[in-house]
Structure 1
Amino acid sequence: MSWKKYVAKSTIRVAATALLLGQLFGAVGVSAADADVEVHLIGINDFHGQLDTTSIVSDKKAGSAPILATYLKEAQAKYEHSLLFHNGDSVGASAPVSSLDRDEPTMEWMNMMGFDVGSLGNHEFDHGIAALKAQIFGGLDPKEGKVTHAGAKFDYVNANVIETATGKPLIKPYVIKEVGGVKIGFIGLVTKSTPAKVSPSGTAGVTFLSTEEEVEAVNKYAKELQDQGVETIIVLAHDPATTKEGVTTGEAADLAKALPTDTPVDVIVAGDNHALANGEVNGILIVQAYSYGTAFEDIKLMIDPKTGDVTEKSATVTTTFQEGVKEDPETLAIIKKSLDKHPELTKPVGTTDGSVTRTDAYNNEAPLGNLIADAMRETDFGDDADAADFAFMNPGGIRADLPQGDVTFADLAKIQPFGNTLVKLELTGAQVKTLLEQQWGTNADGTPNTKTLQIAGLKYTADFNKPVAERVTGLSLEDGTPIDPAKTYTAVVNNFMAAGGDNYKVLLDAKSSLAGPIDLDVFYQYIVDTFKGDSIVAKNEGRITNLVAAEQPEAPVSNESITRAEFVTALVEMLKLNEATTAPTFKDVAANAVYADAIAEATHAGFIQGYGGNFNPDRDITREEAATILAKLLKDQATDTNAATIIAGFEDGSTVSKYAVDSMAKLIDKGIFGADSKQLQPKQGLTTNDAKALIEKAVAAKAS
């Protein structure tokens, strides 16, 4: 292929040339009007209404809104041009000083601080779309109908949540802010995992864009911003990201990789996983500043006033240590107003020695998990029945530890801040076993996603040397009586779990369901009645025994993820294609790239089309992307109806992107996908060995 010959082109270093000419001929000084404008974006993420919460960072006190406010005000005072933003989850899972009034105190605080723009996080959806809109736009909150919101005095943006009734974004997708004579565009996104993180009622009436649709939306709105003269573009993406040893990974990093190499997006602000991020991916700066107000980000942008382009960008993340910092009086006044309204928040209900914690509750039995589950099991549902047989508590709903020393209602509310309703279900012994099996899921990247339920009324052993379907052994009542698979038992869970949240989908098949009181009210009363103001105690009791999997000898296989370019190369080599006569036309595929031949061949054969002029060769390929390529090898195409039916037969069929439904159904029908699994995991990447096996199956099916 002679077209592959690559001719290097020299680059002109404009800045260096201009400097040399200036030195030779005496350049005129640059006027102030022509100088780059320095703008600082000051922001927080995942504040979670922690107005009066002090956290410990590096053995030092940090956070709380009065301290955070002082840091933010001082940061803004330093700069001539700045904007203040938040990146979602500012409310929800909040401290009681905020949550008891449906987070109106937090909204009041953000209005007082003068935030300029905010985005949606998954917790903004906790109580449904009507409640979300009331908080943002003002009006009576539908939950209990007791709080009237004033509404945000700043803009909220989101581009990937679509209102079903209108087919349009739930709120405006972007906003333009002007500061220092330059325009900055903010596009909002929220993690696509939101439907799995909140109760189904929380996202009723909206849908979330797929990965591909989200990229398309960002490109679309970035173009609209450019058409309005905006070249500095920030994506407030409440998506996970982490920077370790100089490498930034996570959903926000994946978004950066998926955007075109010439994207006008300058910065992606991350969130959701409460981590530190500060690094570049695909030329885009990605930043996240922990959570709970323990840190804030200061993003410095140098912007050319003529072109509107960012010429320099960097960020610092500052921890909000309390020592030597004066609390902000305006914030203290907001907190005092709430505490005066709720005196119960400061009255002790007992004490602890600091050992009643949720430590490692996602993987093992925890003392605090046992205490909460015991309280749930004793719930009075007004049906004159005895205590339930069992109780199950999802670890993600346990948000804090019991503090050492005095314990107040406020401390209990920080542990269970969602205001969930408890529900009593009827489950067979077989369904209880299935529920325990559903603790062990898999992330999109193939890593384990374990959410160990905290339990009361039963005990079991989990043997991690066995597959999930055989992992639960020794399942019995507390006294050792085996649980009868055919017998019906009563079990208490919260309404989030009862609705299938956290993938506990077997609960949707419960024989009966009885709604009861609020979880926090039950927990509070249980503490008062059981410990009577004295020492609150709980410990691990052997309810859960985990047998760790034995280390397996290293097998001669590759578990490394395969990129889109590598997948196409493997396919082309297996098919021995050699017909292309022109170079690939994708903007992000260089003519001298090692995979250029293969991509050209795959394009010529009609296997790939790319997206928006790009192929994204270095991005890991997902299972559904691989399916759309391999399906083109096969002749028989399933009808839309048949395809939908086939996909619906899998537990996660609803997560398959629309563009991939027909292709995945076709491969399932041929036995290439999904033969030994109840899940398709369409967004999961492929290892080199998995990809090789799929290609071999598809090629074999093509030949048959």
Structure 2
Amino acid sequence: MFMNWKNWRKPSVGLAAAALLSAQLFGTASTVSAAPGDVEVHLLGINDLHGQLDTTSTVADKPAGTAAILATYLKEAQAKYEHSLLFHNGDSVGASAPVSSLERDEPTIEWMNMMGFDVGSLGNHEFDHGIAALKAQLNGGLDPKDGKVMHGGSKFPYVNANAIEEATGKPLVDPYVIKEVGGVKIGFIGLVTKQTPSKVSPAGTAGVRFLSAAEEVAAVNKYAKELQEQGVETIVILAHDPASTKEGVTTGEAADLAKALPSDTPVDVIVAGDNHAMANGEVNGILIVQAYSYGTAFEDIKLLIDPNTGDVTEKSATVTTTFQEGVKPDADTVALVKKYLDKHPELTKPVGTTDGSVTRTDAYNNEAALGNLIADAMRSADFGDNAEDADFAFMNPGGIRADMPKGDITFADLAKIQPFGNTLVKLTLTGDQVKQLLQQQWGTNADGTPNTKTLQISGLKYSADMNKPVAQRITSLTLADGTPIDPKKSYTAVVNNFMAGGGDNYKVLTEASESLAGPTDLDVFYSYIVDTFKGGAITAAVEGRITNTPAAGEEKPDADGPATGRPATPTSESISRADFVSMLVESLGLNQASTSAVFTDVAADAPYADAIAEAVNAGFIKGYGAGKFHPDRSITREEMATILAAVLKQQLPTVNATSVLGTFEDASTVAAYAKTPVAQLVQMGILDAAEPGSFLPKNAVLSTEAESVIEQVLAASAS
């Protein structure tokens, strides 16, 4: 029996995890059978390996990954098929495990050469250290970053069509390559996410221009035509663009590309990447596939190709998780990894010991010992700018994923604490912006309950009275030595890239006057532990950096999460269209509709059916063509804007949409139907950039953003 929406609450994370696990274990594929004479080719691929050669990940509570396990899976698949090709789709290096990063990622390139990869593409992380370093990795030569590592170069081609070298006006690497297997030709065109300039330091992309969305489509069409002129009709785009498939619907930058291509495009497959998700579905007749990250999965794309015409007659894919249980690690890979681990014995021996007191206890609400340790490490990070340590550092509590265990501490323990491979970013903020950042810790859920995410800090201290409104809550704010922070003075602050982009509602960080991307958080944390404690006792404590006066009658918080008892995990999940509408309708207190909305994909007994009916009745939503609403698809920022504009119809300002949206670099990507609503909500201060300079209209809305925006809409509608 389904609940009525008026008693509805968002499904638990457990249900979402179960659905995710199902996709991980089984993937999705259509049943195909080769016509007589068709050539069956299997494209075996990975994306976002990030040099995790010796990293064991946990999937469904079971160990998965490492290059040695992945190699076994790939070799077994190759042995099973008569015709196959092996590829990787960007971010094979960068944000890497130390066994790779300490050798400037030469171990990862060496492993891919040993495995016999046929083709690769550029991801944004290939640009981390600049064009000279990228070319050394691909072409061979002395690494310009450290001047010590001698790269052997890649033995397989890399392709990319949308990163243009300004000095030549041509693609940085060949835009495409043709591979022949089983008597048929397959063309691979490479692309990298258009968000690369905002994901990499300016120095990393200096000398390169990235094509706009329209230019990118034109480039794909141009190179696809060139391939056809060379007798190639099977075309695969290795697009390091984000995509994910949920409830059978595939969305993201890769899906947007598929939609933008002409209906008669010869492109058969787009391989996605960047957001470390699973994708396996068709958009505009194009198969879109992505296999998570870190070597925990690979995709097997099955193509049936007519040898006479070169056309794909059938296509499907499976995504397989590389569980370790019962799988013998590949001996050659084990030997290669051991060679580099032996070169760096510090990676396999304890880096220190603890007494079990360095934990994240109550980090969502108060200062935590482990939070202090991580923030201190962040503040000391070297950004290669010959500057002293930053003035401050801020760490979001949801990014601290484990306690430091009692006893010997290894690199593996540190990796469990900071597993995301986030890039650190140094921002320039005024003292007033620092205060605003601290105020943004204290959010409110749609039902009015507090949603607190206390930042772990270094270089400053403050007192807060939780009995006061957020704007007056901070009663003192000083440097660590007690010197008051000057509201007008500029300070440097280190955060991770998730926060820098406005994650967890820290929107003021997107307004920093300067931004410099730097090393990965785990590398910095590891180096700080080694340099500071030199293999001895690792210590950290609650020092009084944060002094909170509890609100009267406040419930004592749980040890591992906020007072609500919510687990200490990041609230950064995307929210579906149905969830968003239900949240909005509940917040507005609507209860007028007498019949359910007529959408063919909204069952009358669905838990959100009445909420959708309320929204239709109120004129907030209209659905899509063919009577569909797509309830389970993640709602995009521009879709959210159109719905909220309908709610605020009487309060909306008159705007020049072109002028307002002109402040965003990606203004041209806002859909025509959404331009005015987006501009109106931006003008009202309800919506803002998703990351510095970009609105990202096609990005999925996170639950935290939805809650915050709805709260602002309620306030505006009441005014």
Please give the TM-score of this superposition, normalised by the length of structure 2. Answer: 0.65
Partner SS for 2:117: coil
Instruction: Say whether 1:458 aligns with 2:461.
Output: yes
Change (3 A) 1:358 1:472: same
Q: What is the identity, as a one-letter code, of the residue corresponding to 2:665? A: S
Q: Does the CA-based 8 Å contact 2:428-2:514 persist in structure 1?
A: no
Deviations 1:70-116 (A, max 9, x none): 11111101111000000111101111110000000000000000000
Matched with 1:391 is: 393
SS of equivalent to 2:180:
strand
Other structure's SS at 1:83 match = strand
**Equivalent residue for 1:432, pick from 431, 434, 442:** 434
Alignment partners' CA distance in 2, 1:74 and 1:175: 26
Letter in 1 for 2:536: G
What's the secondary structure of 1:240's corresponding residue? coil
Report the counterpart of residue 493 of structure 1 in structure 2: 494
Query: Which amino acid in structure 2 is aligned with residue 93 of structure 1?
Result: A
Aligned to 1:445: none
Residue 174 and residue 405 in structure 1: after superposition, are their counterparts in 2 closer, same or farther (change >3 A)?
farther
The alpha-carbon distance between structure 1 residues 295 and 539, as it changes in their structure 2 partners (threshold 3 A), is farther
Equivalent in the alignment of 1:244: 246
Match of 1:684 among 697, 706, 709: 697
How many residues align? The count is: 564
Given that residues 52 and 100 in structure 2 are in contact (C-alpha distance below 8 angstroms), is that contact kept between their aligned partners in structure 1?
Answer: yes
Structure 1 residues 126, 660: CA separation in 2 closer, same or farther (over 3 Å shift)?
same
Amino acid at match of 1:654: E
Map of 1:216 onto structure 2: 218
Per-residue Cα deviation, 1:475-522 (whole angstroms, up to 9, x for no partner) = 634999896553748655279899999984554359xx9x99999467
**Residue 86 of structure 1 aligns with which residue?**
88
What SS class does the counterpart of residue 131 from structure 1 fall into?
helix
What is residue 646 of structure 2 aligned with on the other side? Answer: none
Q: Which residue of 2 aligns with 1:533?
A: 536
Residue 66 of structure 1 deviates from its aligned partner by 0.8
- Between stretches 400-409 and 50-59, larger displacement belongs to 400-409
Inter-partner Cα distance in structure 2 for 1:167 and 1:361: 50
138 and 35 in structure 1: CA distance in 2 versus 1, 3 angstrom threshold: same
1:62-73 counterparts in 2 under 5 A? 62-73=64-75
CA-based RMSD of the aligned residues comes to 5.3
TM-score by length of 1: 0.66
2:588 maps to which residue? 553
Distance 1:85 1:264 in 2: 20
Specify whether residues 47 and 525 from structure 1 end up closer, same or farther in structure 2 by C-alpha distance, changes over 3 A only: closer
Matches within 5 A, 1:623-662: 650=663, 653-657=664-668
| Counterpart amino acid of residue 295 in structure 1 | A
Aligned match of 1:508: 513
Residues 203 and 261 from structure 1, CA distance in 2 versus in 1: closer, same or farther, beyond 3 angstroms?
Answer: same
SS in 2 for 1:280: strand
Partner of 2:106: 104
Any stretches of 5+ residues in structure 1 without a counterpart? 1-31, 442-449, 561-592, 596-618, 627-637, 688-704
Deviations 1:118-157 (A, max 9, x none): 1111111111121111111212221121112111111111
Deviation at 1:390, TM superposition (A): 3.1
Contact 2:411 2:526 in 1 (8 A): no
Of stretches 398-407 and 152-161 in structure 1, the one that deviates more from structure 2 is 398-407
Secondary structure of the corresponding residue to residue 134 of structure 2: helix
Change beyond 3 A, Cα 1:398–1:193: farther
Q: Distance in 2 between matches of 1:516 and 1:265?
A: 37
Shift of 1:408: 2.8
Q: Following the alignment from structure 2 to structure 1, what is the Cα–Cα distance between the partners of residues 137 and 547? A: 41
Give 2:372's aligned residue.
370
Q: Partner of 1:94: helix, strand, or coil?
A: coil
Q: What is the aligned counterpart of 1:232 among 231, 234, 239?
A: 234
1:249-297 Cα distance to aligned partner (Å, 9 max, x none):
2222222222222221111111111111111222111111111111111
Name the SS for the 2:41 alignment partner.
strand
Counterpart of 2:43 in structure 1 is 41
Tell me the distance in 1 between the aligned counterparts of 2:362 and 2:310. Answer: 48
Find the counterpart in structure 2 of residue 633 from structure 1.
none
User: Which has the higher mean CA deviation after the structures are superposed, 272-281 or 478-487?
Assistant: 478-487
Identity of aligned residues (%): 64
State how far apart, in whole Å, the 2-side matches of 1:337 and 1:319 are: 27
In 1, the alpha carbon distance for the partners of 2:139 and 2:699 equals: 43
Contact 2:396 2:499 (C-alpha < 8 Å) held by counterparts:
no
Contact 1:350 1:531 in 2 (8 A): yes
Q: Is the 8 A contact 1:92 1:99 kept in 2?
A: yes
1:283-682 equivalent positions in 2, closer than 5 A: 283-351=285-353, 368-377=370-379, 390-393=392-395, 406-409=408-411, 412=414, 415=418, 428-434=430-436, 454-456=456-458, 457-459=460-462, 476-477=477-478, 484-486=485-487, 488=489, 491-493=492-494, 504=509, 506-508=511-513, 520=523, 524-526=527-529, 529=532, 533-534=536-537, 543=546, 552-554=587-589, 650=663, 653-657=664-668, 675-677=683-685
Amino acid across the alignment from 1:508: S
Q: Is the 8 Å Cα contact of residues 421 and 519 (structure 1) preserved in structure 2?
A: no
The one-character-per-residue Cα deviations of 1:387-443 (angstroms, maximum 9, x if unpaired) are 9763235789989985776323575578599898997x88642132355589999xx
Pairing partner for 2:122 from 120, 123, 127: 120
Counterpart amino acid of residue 588 in structure 2? P
For 1:159-205, what per-residue CA distance to the aligned partner results, in whole angstroms no more than 9, with x for missing partners?
12222233322211111111001011111111122222222221222
Tell me the amino acid that sits aligned with residue 217 of structure 1.
A
CA distance in 1, matches of 2:442, 2:127: 25
Gaps of 5+ in 2: 1-33, 444-451, 549-561, 565-570, 572-582, 598-624, 628-634, 643-655, 701-719
Task: Find the counterpart in structure 2 of residue 60 from structure 1.
Answer: 62
- CA distance, structure 1, for counterparts of residue 165 and residue 301 of structure 2: 32
After superposition, the C-alpha distances for 1:543-597 in whole angstroms (9 at most, x for unaligned) are 5999999973246999x9xxxxxxxxxxxxxxxxxxxxxxxxxxxxxxxx989xx
User: In structure 2, what is the equivalent of residue 135 of structure 1?
Assistant: 137
Counterpart CA distance in 2 for 1:290 and 1:531 is 36
Please name the residue that 1:629 is paired with: none
Cα contact 2:252–2:698 (8 A) shared by 1: no
Distance (Å, rounded) in 2 between the aligned partners of 1:108 and 1:199: 26
Q: CA deviation at 1:40?
A: 0.3
Q: For residue 194 of structure 1, what is the aligned residue in structure 2?
A: 196
1:632 aligned residue: none
